[in-house]
């Protein structure tokens, strides 16, 4: 099995000595789903944002899809990675001035230089997979949060990525809308997509993930399969966090 | 849109009685003011209809419209102005066909080369010198060409001001600050008197184009600031999303930043172009016979001497009309562009 993400001792500190990442090491193999959990400010988002170059790190080694990234970012390498890695954000971050279909075809046409018609056909295919092909001509603001997030997933898929990053994809949604997005992510996992998901959705993590990585103040506290993590977490800190999520 | 509701009129009349005529003192004041206003209105209308001699306007209509454009060629500017007017009407109340709406902006941009061809002539049309341009035609030409040139220049300046290269950033900041601290009339003087001195021998730009360049240099500094405001209000997450899709810096500027910045800056840009239209009248002082200039030269004609009020009332109403059309068009454009991003 081919490793897609290999991180070794990633460390990033902000001024004032605050550590966002503290010796983080992990491996994600092809076709696997890694769920990253942890209290807010624990460095989860920072971690997955280093995977496509949105954040830099100070020390450590990182290899994404076999491309090595240093602490001094090489713009060409990062562009190469971004073409093969999709990302879905908490706040959707759709382009408000473009229609749904234009949001999806923008990168295939201008980054991968595919033909407009071909990109539109594939975009419509992705939208129908997400169950929102009837909205193709609308604009982001005319859609509900759940629909916008599914568009964002389709936009990330349009580049046919080999790795998908999700940064709290359901945290900005109404409770009733969360499942439609999680279902779409479940289907992707079933199709064998490699994914790294920052989320607090325990149900999703239990059903879909292969590994759960728990972080606190920049450190990896534990990495366990979900069956162990949710029933019998090894670390006291993880159990405390899970208790609090349950009481919520 | 405005439904007249009889009961609400009666109510407001009652209200009026309460507010304006509640006691003796208020009644006297109200009556005095009403008397004054009605006298003023009466005098104005009396002057407009009976006393004013509109011959100074009616006999010179072609002059106001086309200046000293050769009479047998005046169909050319007339075609241009009428097509601009028809296009405005089409934009405002035309049918909502998709292909029409999609291409309307291109048609608007297309009126510029067509207008230049009609005015200056060339292939198939007899060439006309710049000095024959005048009146409303020249005013519109100055406005349209200057705004069209200053928009891209302003965008480039705004982008440079946000640049991470300190030299580029400083240079554009200095340019913008200098232009904003010089009065427009000084820039126009510079354009008319100094540009010819600086140009190498043999190269000559005629007065109309010197004015257009001077206006563009001036207005682009203001446009740059409007666009910069638009750029700054685009959330950083938009750039992150574009980055994560692998778009490079130039593609982000072209597809994400500029379209959104222009949408946000649109009301301010409208202001600039209406201001520009009115400011073209400054060229009358510098010897171009645009709308105001032609008015002044008509007043210099012994036949119409002393009829200042008629001419200036007429000119004011023409300026008012064109500005209103521009404002309505801009509002229409704003509505069309913001409809798609209600909660942006």
Domain-ending residue, one of A118, A138, A161: A161
Establish if A89 belongs to a structural domain.
no
Domain-ending residue, one of A161, A188, A209: A161
Mean pLDDT, rounded, for B17-29:
84
DSSP run (H or E) holding A163 = strand A163-167
ipTM for the whole predicted complex goes beyond 0.85: yes
Residue in A54, A97, A111 closest to B246 by CB: A111
Residues A186 and A230 in one domain: yes
Q: How far apart are CA B50 and CA B284, in angstroms?
A: 30
Establish if A91 belongs to a structural domain.
no
pLDDT above 60 (res B294): yes
Establish if A235 belongs to a structural domain.
yes
Q: For residue B1, what pLDDT band results from cuts at 50, 70 and 90?
A: very low
B206 torsion bin: left (phi>0), alpha (psi -120 to 50), beta (else) = beta
Question: Could you tell me if A35 and A10 are in contact, meaning their C-beta atoms sit under 8 angstroms apart?
Answer: no
pLDDT above 70 (res B212): yes
Residue in B240, B246, B343 closest to A79 by CB: B246
Residues A80 and A10 in one domain: yes
pLDDT at B68: 86
pLDDT above 50 (res A53): yes
pLDDT tens digits, residue range B170-190?
Answer: 999 999 999 999 999 999 998
Residues A135 and A42 in one domain: no
Mean pLDDT, rounded, for A176-196:
93
Residues A43 and A116 in one domain: no
DSSP 3-state of A192: coil
pTM of the model: 0.84
A164 to chain B: nearest residue by CA?
Answer: B244
Q: Is A128 on the interface with B (CB under 8 A)?
A: no
pLDDT at B255: 95
Domain-ending residue, one of A144, A161, A178: A161
Chain B: give the shortest CA distance to residue A176, in Å.
21
Residues A167 and A55 in one domain: yes
Estimate to the nearest angstrom the gap between the alpha carbon of B40 and the chain centroid. Answer: 31
Boundaries of domain holding A206: 5-84+163-246
Residues A101 and A73 in one domain: no
Residues A14 and A131 in one domain: no
pLDDT at B342: 46
Q: Is B236 on the interface with A (CB under 8 A)?
A: no
DSSP 3-state of A164: strand
Question: Torsion angle of alpha carbons A184, A186, A188, A191, nearest 10°?
Answer: -140
Residues A155 and A167 in one domain: no
Establish if A90 belongs to a structural domain.
no
| Residues of A whose CB is below 8 A from B256 | 95
Beta carbons within 8 Å of A59's beta carbon, 6+ residues apart: A9, A10, A11, A71
Residues A76 and A193 in one domain: yes
Q: How far apart are CA A95 and CA A139, in angstroms?
A: 9
Residue in A79, A93, A106 closest to B237 by CB: A93
B242 to chain A: nearest residue by CA?
Answer: A107
Q: Mean pLDDT score of chain B, rounded to an integer?
A: 89
Walk across the sheet containing A67-69 and list its strands.
A19-29, A3-13, A59-64, A67-69
pLDDT at B341: 52
A88 to chain B: nearest residue by CA?
Answer: B241
pLDDT tens digits, residue range A79-125?
Answer: 999 999 999 999 999 999 999 999 999 999 999 999 999 999 999 99
Establish if A212 belongs to a structural domain.
yes
Q: What is the domain-level CATH number for residue A230? A: 3.40.50.300
Q: For residue B2, what pLDDT band results from cuts at 50, 70 and 90?
A: low
Chain A: give the shortest CA distance to residue B247, in Å.
6
Question: Could you tell me if A64 and A5 are in contact, meaning their C-beta atoms sit under 8 angstroms apart?
Answer: yes
Q: How far apart are CA A172 and CA A89, in angstroms?
A: 10
pLDDT above 60 (res B343): no
Q: Mean pLDDT score of chain A, rounded to an integer?
A: 92
Q: For residue A223, what pLDDT band results from cuts at 50, 70 and 90?
A: very high
Q: Is B164 on the interface with A (CB under 8 A)?
A: no
pLDDT tens digits, residue range B241-260?
Answer: 999 999 999 999 999 999 99
- Stretch 86-105 of chain A: residues touching chain B, C-beta under 8 Å: 86-87, 89, 91, 93-97, 99
Residues A10 and A124 in one domain: no
Residues A60 and A33 in one domain: yes
Q: How far apart are CA A104 and CA B26, in angstroms?
A: 67
pLDDT at B128: 85
pLDDT at A8: 93
Q: How far apart are CA A152 and CA A146, in angstroms?
A: 10
| Residues of A whose CB is below 8 A from B245 | 82, 106-107, 111, 155-156, 159
pLDDT at B3: 59
Establish if A50 belongs to a structural domain.
yes
Establish if A105 belongs to a structural domain.
yes
DSSP run (H or E) holding A215 = strand A211-216
pLDDT at B339: 56
CB contact under 8 A, B344 and A155: no
pLDDT above 80 (res A222): yes
pLDDT tens digits, residue range B68-104?
Answer: 888 888 899 999 999 999 999 888 887 777 777 778 8
When mean pLDDT is compared across A108-117, A199-208, B45-54, B226-235, the lowest value belongs to B45-54
Q: What does DSSP assign to residue A143? A: S
Establish if A199 belongs to a structural domain.
yes
Residues A79 and A167 in one domain: yes
Mean pLDDT, rounded, for A57-76:
90
Q: How far apart are CA A155 and CA A132, in angstroms?
A: 12
Structurally, chain A folds into a number of domains equal to: 2
Quick one: angle between helices B207-232 and B258-279, nearest 10? 140
């Amino acid at each position: 099995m081919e490793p897609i993400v290999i991180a070794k001792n990633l460390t990033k500190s902000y001024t004032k000595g605050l550590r966002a990442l503290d010796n983080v090491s992990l491996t994600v193999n092809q076709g696997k789903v890694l769920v990253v959990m942890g209290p807010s400010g624990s460095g989860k988002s920072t971690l997955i944002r280093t995977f496509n170059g949105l954040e830099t790190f100070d020390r450590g080694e990182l290899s994404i899809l076999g491309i090595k990234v240093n602490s001094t970012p090489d713009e060409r390498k990062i562009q190469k990675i971004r073409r093969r890695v999709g990302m879905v954000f908490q706040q959707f971050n759709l382009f408000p001035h473009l229609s749904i279909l234009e949001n999806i075809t923008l990168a295939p046409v201008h980054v991968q230089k595919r033909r407009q018609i071909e990109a539109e056909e594939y975009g419509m295919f992705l939208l129908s997979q997400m169950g929102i092909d009837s909205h193709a001509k609308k604009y982001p603001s005319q859609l509900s949060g759940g629909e916008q997030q599914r568009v964002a997933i389709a936009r990330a898929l349009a580049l046919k990525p080999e790795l998908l990053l999700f940064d709290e994809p359901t945290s900005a949604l109404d409770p009733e809308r969360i499942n439609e997005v999680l279902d779409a992510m479940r289907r992707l996992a079933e199709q064998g997509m490699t994914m790294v998901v920052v989320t607090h959705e325990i149900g999703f993590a239990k059903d879909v993930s292969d590994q759960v990585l728990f972080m606190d103040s920049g450190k990896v506290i534990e990495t366990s399969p979900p069956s162990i993590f949710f029933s019998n977490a090894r670390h006291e800190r993880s159990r405390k966090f899970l208790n609090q999520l349950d009481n919520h | 849109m405005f439904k007249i509701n009889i009961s609400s009129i009666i109510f407001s009349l009652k209200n009026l009685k309460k507010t304006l005529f509640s006691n003796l003192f208020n009644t006297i004041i109200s009556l005095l003011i009403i008397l004054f206003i009605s006298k003023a209105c009466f005098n104005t209308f009396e002057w407009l209809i009976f006393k004013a001699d509109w011959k100074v306007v009616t006999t010179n209509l072609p002059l106001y419209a086309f200046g000293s454009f050769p009479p047998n060629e005046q169909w050319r500017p007339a075609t241009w102005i009428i097509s601009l007017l028809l296009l405005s009407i089409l934009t405002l109340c035309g049918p909502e066909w998709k292909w029409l709406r999609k291409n309307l902006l291109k048609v608007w941009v297309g009126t510029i080369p067509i207008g230049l061809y009609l005015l200056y002539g060339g292939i198939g049309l007899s060439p006309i010198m710049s000095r024959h341009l005048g009146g409303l035609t020249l005013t519109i030409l100055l406005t349209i060409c200057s705004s069209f040139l200053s928009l891209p220049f302003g965008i480039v300046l705004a982008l440079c001001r946000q640049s991470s290269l300190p030299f580029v950033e400083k240079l554009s900041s200095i340019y913008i600050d200098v232009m904003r601290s010089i009065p427009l009339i000084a820039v126009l003087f510079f354009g008319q008197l100094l540009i010819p001195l600086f140009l190498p021998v043999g190269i000559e730009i005629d007065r109309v184009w010197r004015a257009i360049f001077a206006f563009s240099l001036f207005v682009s500094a203001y446009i740059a600031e409007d666009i910069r405001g638009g750029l700054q209000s685009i959330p950083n997450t938009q750039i992150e999303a574009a980055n994560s899709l692998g778009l490079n810096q130039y593609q982000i500027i072209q597809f994400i930043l500029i379209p959104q910045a222009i949408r946000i800056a649109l009301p301010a840009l409208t202001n600039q172009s209406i201001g520009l239209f009115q400011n073209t009248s400054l060229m009358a002082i510098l010897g171009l016979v645009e709308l105001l200039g032609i008015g002044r030269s008509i007043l210099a004609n012994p036949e119409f001497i002393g009829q200042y009020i008629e001419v200036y009332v007429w000119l004011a109403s023409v300026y008012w009309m064109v500005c209103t059309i521009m404002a309505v068009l801009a509002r229409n454009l704003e509505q069309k562009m913001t409809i798609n991003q209600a909660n942006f």
